[in-house]
Chain A
Amino acid sequence: MQFISKNSPHTFKPNSVQRIMLEVLLALVPGIIAMTWFFGWGTLINIAIASVTAVVAEALVIKLRARPALPVISDFSAVLTAVLLALALPPLAPWWITVLGSAFAIIIVKQLYGGIGYNPFNPAMAAYVFLLISYPTHMTSWLQPSMLSNIELDFVQTLSIIFNGTLPTGLSWDTLSGATPLDEMFTRLDMNQMIEEIRQSALWGDFGGKGWEWVNNWYLLGGIYLLYRKVITWHIPVSVLGSLLVFSGLAYLLDPATHPYPAFHIFTGGIMLGAFFIATDPVSACTTKKGQLIYGASIGAMVFIIRNWGGYPDAVAFAVLLMNMTAPTIDYYTRPRVFGTAGKSDHE
């Protein structure tokens, strides 16, 4: 009798890249719900536009490379990139912003480097920075969270704003949009105002900005799910948040009047999304455990520095991209001690 030839091991854990991507998408659902709750239909429409664009763009590139497209698209990594980018965009961003960003992420940042597994930079964050630098006005027009605004845009109105740029009668951009809490905080700090004064503003909730703190809470929930499902390990999120807490805590202790309290940093802006969903992107992050701690802590520190002294309101994207560059070097110097070897590793 004759049999097939295969290599050992013969058994595989029922796990796949596809399952990992789907788990991450599932973990984003609470955050997406919170975003939709506070900022309206725009978030969902952006996600839809970005996802379709990403899948089409990826299929096109794979076709150009003369490879079967279905297995590549069905790993859902392009969709995940699209969703992460869409969540970082203002909810009423015009459609072409989303299309441009999503196509840039997939074609330039991911596929031109060789596709999944080969991109040195996080595609969603690289696209976000590309858009932020190219279209600063569009990228910084954020909506007020629903509790601060008496305007409720319905689905059709939102769609019309995104695709036609026409606002419903009687509404102007000024009435719709407002400063984000991070913007507010650091703009007013630059004007030499005290935290006490700034806190008088209606923008503030219990920890961070109203609405924003809840979005961050729900991202945290999704992050905890990822940890529980062992899709990610604790090293990167804990070191990102931990280092941001330590640096902002130290600054707060030095001068509470001019430095926001640590919880503000953690529950405002995109830090939760960044810590659990973006910095943990395995392709562009460090792969050794010790390296991941250094990588995460550096992102936290970088976020603190850019938020305090940088020109842009939020810093997660810049911090992640900067650390993406250093990841291979960090990996090289943080190799674990191999069983039976005395020193750290042979080359050191």
Chain B
Amino acid sequence: MSRLTQIIHAGRKLWHFHGGLHIDDHKDMSLQRPLRDAQIPDRLVIPLHQHIGELPVLKVKIGDRVLKGQLIAEAEQYVSANIHAPSSGTVIEVGEHAISHPSGLKSVCITLETDGKDEWSNELPEPMTDYQNFSTSELGQRIRWAGIVGMGGATCPSSVKLNPGPGKKINTLIVNGAECEPYISCDDSLMQNHADNIIEGIQIVMHMLSAKNCLVGIEDNKPKALQSMQSAVEKSGNNQIEIISIPTIYPSGGEKQLIQILTGKEVPSHGLPADIGIVCHNVGTLEAIYEAVILGRPSISRLVTVTGQGVKEPGNFRVANGTSIANLVAQAGGYTADADRLIQGGPMMGYTLYDDDIPLTKGANCVLVTTAEEIPSNTPAIPCIRCGRCAEACPVELLPQQLYWHARSRDFDKTQDFNLFDCIECGCCSHVCPSHIPLVQYYRYAKTEIWTKEEEKRKSDIARQRHEFRQARLERIEAEKKARLRKKKEDLENKKTSDTKDPKKAAIEAAMKRAAEKKQKMQESGVKPANTEALTTAQQKQIDEADKRRGDR
């Protein structure tokens, strides 16, 4: 029952995570044609929302002419990313446009009418070809400038991930080339075509993190990618980088799963890889880092797989940020007559889009168009029979059947008790469910309900606190007012009583009385003031003169 099974795969010691699935990968479909550069459309719609974290701040207005690579939205918060113009042209609109989101959510987008010149900005930073001579923070600044986000789909700003914080020593860089989702082959294509750049990117990141070694995990269904990466490593002569063939089993490309496969270590629940001295990056991200550092170019395009039986000419494209799905599919020969479902991402974790007028962003790795024959509509769900196949498939070793039970009955405390938030939503449980229950959907529901509740609780806590503060303030003011009144009243009363006998007057009277008594006593005893007795003649003369002067006046 130990989930940490060690295995020997392709001559190397690896580890096995719990569960997982062997599924048809359908990757050949999009690998038949060579990697192409997609044409830049007449119109690019560039969402500001392309990463997790805060939105960047607009730097252009309608009518501005922008050049390729020019900064058009700037990250002001720490967890945010710059956005640059993917091509040259004129800003014709800034406003709400549907973005890639399962609910058809709208968000602020910059619409750029391209001029076809694709003219580079002349304000791009200098290439840092000798990156070894630059400090971690200088390189980090460059990566932050380039607006690079995690290109495996998580879209976490890379500069954040490359700054694990003080006290966290990173020993190992793990590079994710697993690409475990069926159909998707953009990372495969990238590794086959640009292995040298990826290796260069790896060396930059290793330099930044002072990492001792780097493990590159690639599923063994990509022999060409394995080979080209291996020869790129040999060419670089860097023996700290190891290209590792891992067994093809979904979801080996999950960050925590890949780390476990390669190192046997578990990222703690609610923790980060940096907690165990590891940073993990996708191959696409590393290529973007290479471009930013060595070429001085921002992240404005990426590789996208267009595939599925609903597309006439599936393949991989280098796509400018902001190209619409409709435009890209048209470049891939268009839809077939029986295209049925449009999915962004893979069949396991991707989400359907209702409409194809949606811009592709930094995190978009795949456009999958399937036919009803290829992916039939799910048969209706029937009750759970607790067969436990989901638990056998779960890579996190949760009990999906119990989570489902509690999520369904809205017992959210219980779902958390059963570690709901460790669920990575990989879809293995739903995939194997004989009752065809959309289990992941229940977990997403439970998670958002809990988040909403927590947010509500936070808000109501704040409201209650404010109310309590206000109440306390009012009470304090009231009390102070009362105290002031009371004091005034007391003062007044004191004054009334002292009018009959003023202490000041009494003191003066007493003093005068004392002086008079003294004088009388002295006269009675015949004593005169000592200072006018026994004067010298000179002194007497002075006095006389003074008296005389007084008399003159």
- Segment from B46-54, B335-343, B531-539 that makes contact with A: B335-343
**What DSSP secondary structure best describes chain A's contact surface?**
loop
In the assembled complex, the Cα of A24 lies from the Cα of B515 at a distance in Å of 127
Q: Does A170 contact B (CB under 8 A)?
A: no
Closest to A15 in B: B434
* B354 near A2: Cβ-Cβ < 8 Å: yes
CB-CB under 8 A for A4 and B352, given A9-B431, A10-B347: yes
Measured CB to CB, the nearest residue on chain B to A10 is B347
Please choose the segment from A37-45, A115-123, A218-226 that sits at the chain B interface, where 4 or more of its residues have CB less than 8 A away: A115-123
Contacts of A20 in B (CB 8 A): 385, 387, 434
CB of B262 within 8 Å of the partner chain: no
**B378 and A3 contact, CB distance less than 8 A:** no
Within 8 A of A (CB), among B369-398: 370, 375, 377-380, 382-389, 391-392, 395-398
Given contacts A1-B356, A339-B18, contact A12 B385 (CB under 8 A): no
**Please, which residues of chain B bring their CB within 8 A of the CB of A290?**
1
Is A331 on the interface with B (CB-CB < 8 A)?
Answer: yes
Interface residue stretch chosen among B136-144, B264-272, B283-291, B463-471: B264-272
User: Does the CB pair B375–A10 fall under 8 Å?
Assistant: yes
The reply to whether A12 and B430 form a contact with Cβ atoms under 8 Å apart is: yes
- Determine whether the beta carbon of B397 is less than 8 Å from that of A338: yes
Contact of A342 among B268, B387, B388 (CB under 8 A): B268
Q: How far apart are B256's CB and chain A's nearest CB, in angstroms?
A: 7
Contact of B434 among A19, A233, A285 (CB under 8 A): A19
B153 at interface, CB cutoff 8 A = no
| Cβ of A283 under 8 Å from chain B | yes
**A288 to B355 Cα, complex, angstroms:** 42
- A289-324 CB contact bits vs B (8 Å, 1 = yes)? 110000000000000000000000000000000000
Please name all residues of chain A whose beta carbon is closer than 8 Å to the beta carbon of B340 when the two chains form the complex. 3-4
Q: Let me know if B207 is at the binding interface, CB within 8 A.
A: no
**Shortest Cβ distance from residue A133 to the other chain B in the assembled complex, whole angstroms:** 28
| Contact between B370 and A336, CB atoms less than 8 A apart | no
Q: Is A199 interfacial (CB 8 A cutoff)?
A: no
Contact of A339 among B379, B395, B427 (CB under 8 A): B395
A residues in contact with B343, CB < 8 Å: 8, 10
Taking CB atoms and an 8 Å cut-off, the chain B residues in 147-173 that contact chain A are none
Minimum CB–CB distance from A48 to chain B (whole Å) comes to: 25
B382 and A116 within 8 A (CB): yes
Q: Is B350 in contact with A10, judged by CB distance below 8 angstroms?
A: yes
Contact B102 A5 (CB under 8 A): yes
Contact yes or no, B352 A6, CB < 8 A: yes
In the complex, what residues of B have CB within 8 A of residue A253's CB?
A: none
Report the nearest A residue to B419, measured CB to CB.
A338
> Given known contacts A20-B434, A340-B267, A345-B419, is B377 in contact with A4 (CB within 8 Å)?
yes
Given A4-B340, A10-B350, A340-B256, is A17 in contact with B382 using a C-beta cutoff of 8 Å? Answer: yes
Q: Are A287 and B382 in contact (CB under 8 A)?
A: no
User: When each residue 291-326 of chain B gets 1 if its CB lies under 8 Å from chain A and 0 otherwise, what string results?
Assistant: 000000000000000000000000000000000001
Bound-complex Cα distance A17 to B386 (A): 11
Whether B182 sits at the interface, judged by CB under 8 Å, is yes
Contacts of B418 in A (CB 8 A): 335
Least Cβ–Cβ distance between A179 and chain B, in angstroms:
38
Give Cα A3 to B352, complex, Å. Answer: 8
| Binary contact track A181-220/B, C-beta < 8 Å → 1, others 0 | 0000000000000000000000000000000000000000
Residue of chain B at shortest CB distance from A347: B417
Task: Quote the shortest CB–CB distance from B160 to chain A (angstroms).
Answer: 21
A4 to B389, CA, bound (A): 28
A-chain residues with CB within 8 Å of residue B270 when the two chains form the complex? 340
Residue B23, interface by CB 8 Å? yes
Partner among A2, A8, A12, A282 whose Cβ is within 8 Å of the Cβ of B436: A12
Task: Let me know if A8 and B351 touch, CB within 8 A.
Answer: yes
Is B422 touching A338 in the complex (CB atoms < 8 A)?
Answer: yes
Which residues on B sit within 8 Å (CB–CB) of A137?
A: none
Query: How far is A3 from B383 in the complex, measured between Cα atoms in Å?
Result: 28
Min CB distance, B77 to chain A, in Å?
28
Kindly list chain A residues whose C-beta atoms are within 8 Å of the C-beta of B60: none
- Contact between B436 and A16 (Cβ–Cβ < 8 Å)? yes
Question: Interface digits, B220-261 against A, CB 8 Å rule (1 contact, 0 not)?
Answer: 000000000000000000000000000000000000100010
Interface residues of B in 340-368 (CB under 8 A from A): 340-343, 345, 347-356
B331 on the A face (CB < 8 A): no
Q: Which residue of A lies closest to B390 (CB)?
A: A287
Return A123 CB to nearest CB of chain B, in Å: 13
Query: Which of A15, A71, A282 meets B382, CB within 8 Å?
Result: A71
Q: At the interface, yes or no: A7 with Cβ under 8 Å from chain B?
A: yes
Report whether A10 and B388 are in contact in the complex, using a CB–CB cutoff of 8 Å. Answer: no
Does any Cβ of A come within 8 Å of B440's Cβ? yes
**Binary per-residue interface labels of chain A (267-296) against chain B in the complex, 1 for a CB within 8 Å, 0 otherwise:** 000000000000000110101111000000
User: When the two chains form their complex, are residues A337 and B397 in contact, meaning their CB atoms are under 8 A apart?
Assistant: yes
Q: Is B88 an interface residue (CB 8 A)?
A: no
| B399 part of interface (Cβ distance < 8 Å) | yes
The docked-state distance in angstroms from the alpha carbon of A346 to that of B353 is: 38
B17-32 interface bits toward A, Cβ cutoff 8 Å, 1 = contact, 0 = none: 1100101000000000
Q: Chain A residues near B378 (CB, 8 Å)?
A: 6, 12
CB distance from B463 to the nearest CB of A (A): 30
- Asked whether, in the complex, the Cβ of B354 is within 8 Å of the Cβ of A117, the reply is no
Chain A residues contacting B402 (CB-CB under 8 Å) are 287, 331, 335
Task: Give the distance in Å from the alpha carbon of A283 to the alpha carbon of B435 in the complex.
Answer: 13
Residue on A nearest B427 in the bound complex, by CB:
A9
Question: Beyond A1-B326, A3-B340, A5-B352, is A16–B379 a contact (Cβ under 8 Å)?
Answer: yes
Complex contacts, B441 vs chain A, CB 8 Å: 7
> B391 is contacted by which of A7, A8, A288 (Cβ under 8 Å)?
A288
Q: How far is the CB of A141 from chain B (nearest CB, A)?
A: 35
Residues of chain A within 8 A of B370, CB atoms compared: 10
Q: Which residues of chain B from 80 to 99 have a CB within 8 Å of any chain A CB? A: none
Contact B419 A346 (CB under 8 A): yes
Find out whether the CB atom of B397 lies under 8 angstroms from the CB atom of A8. Answer: no
Q: Contact at B396–A339, with CB atoms within 8 Å?
A: yes
- Considering only CB atoms, which chain B residue lies closest to A340 in the complex? B269
Q: Does A134 contact B (CB under 8 A)?
A: no
B354 and A3 within 8 A (CB): yes
Instruction: Report the Cα distance A20→B432, complex, angstroms.
Output: 12
Tell me, yes or no, whether B197 is within 8 Å of chain A by CB.
no
Smallest Cβ-Cβ distance to A289: which chain B residue = B1
- Interface: B438 (CB within 8 A): yes
Q: Which residues of A contact B352 (CB under 8 A)?
A: 3-7, 10
Nearest CB of chain B from residue A344's CB, rounded to whole Å: 12
Interface contact A335-B399, CB-CB below 8 Å:
yes
Report the Cα distance A283→B405, complex, angstroms. Answer: 13
Q: Are A282 and B388 in contact (CB under 8 A)?
A: yes
Contact A287 B391 (CB under 8 A): yes
B434 & A6 in contact (Cβ 8 Å cutoff): no
B506 → chain A, closest Cβ, in Å? 81
What is the bound-complex CA distance between A233 and B355, given in angstroms? 44
**B401 adjacent to chain A (CB < 8 Å):** yes
Q: Please name all residues of chain B whose beta carbon is closer than 8 Å to the beta carbon of A11 when the two chains form the complex.
A: 23, 182, 347-348, 375, 431
The answer to whether B348 touches A287 (Cβ under 8 A) is: no
The residue on A at minimum CB distance from B369 is: A3
State which residues 416-447 of B face A: CB under 8 Å: 417-419, 422, 425, 427, 430-436, 438, 440-441
- Which residues 13-51 of A sit at the B interface, judged by CB distance below 8 A? 13, 15-17, 19-20
Q: Which of A7, A13, A285 contacts B440 (CB 8 A)?
A: A7
A-B contact pairs, 17 of them (CB 8 A): A1-B339, A6-B341, A6-B378, A7-B352, A11-B375, A12-B431, A17-B385, A116-B383, A117-B382, A117-B386, A233-B388, A285-B386, A287-B386, A288-B399, A290-B1, A331-B399, A339-B18
- Extra A-B contacts (18), CB below 8 Å, given A9-B347, A117-B384, A339-B18: A1-B339, A4-B352, A7-B441, A8-B351, A15-B389, A15-B432, A15-B433, A17-B434, A19-B434, A20-B387, A338-B269, A339-B17, A339-B422, A340-B268, A340-B270, A340-B422, A341-B419, A346-B417
The chain A residues found within 8 Å of chain B, CB to CB, are 1-13, 15-17, 19-20, 71, 75, 77, 114-118, 233, 282-283, 285, 287-290, 331, 335-342, 345-347
